[in-house]
Amino acid sequence: MAVIINGHYKYCVNPTCNECEPMTFKKLIKVIKLPSTGKIYGDSYRWHKRGGHAGRKSIEKTVTAAKKNGFEKREHKNGSSPDGSIVGSGSVYYDEDGNCLRTSCSFGATADGNSYSITLDAAPSF
C-alpha cells in the first residue's frame, strides 16, 4: 500500500511503520495493478489491447487502484471519427510525485474494432 510521508508517496506493507522505503517505478506498477502483459521501457510502462471488451475492465481496475494510491484525474477527452463509426475517450491522471497515468479506449462498429491502452510514465528526475 502507498502511504504519504513528508508529502511523498512511499511503499509499505505496514503503513504505521517508520521504515517505509520510497516508491520505485516497478513497485508502483504492482501497486496500481497494471496489466501483467504490458511492457516496461526504462521509466515507462505500455499496455495495448485490440478487440473485445475485456480491456475496459483492465482500465477500470487500474484506475480504481491508482485513485486509492493518490492519483487524481487532470484531463478527460471524448472524440469520434467524422462519420461516427469510431468513438473514444482518454484520461490523464497524476500523483503528487509527478507520475503520469494515461488511459484510452476507442470503440468501433463491432467488438473487433475496439482498442484499449494504458501508459504510465515515471516522474521526470532532474
Question: How sure is the predictor about 21, in pLDDT bands with cuts at 50, 70 and 90?
Answer: low
Q: What is the pLDDT of residues 39-89, one digit of tens each?
A: 999 999 999 999 998 899 999 999 999 998 889 999 999 999 999 889 999
Q: What's the burial of 23, exposed, middle or buried (CB within 10 Å: 0-12/13-18/19+)?
A: buried
Q: Is the pTM of this model over 0.85?
A: no
Question: How sure is the predictor about 25, in pLDDT bands with cuts at 50, 70 and 90?
Answer: confident
Contact between 106 and 112 (Cβ < 8 Å) = no
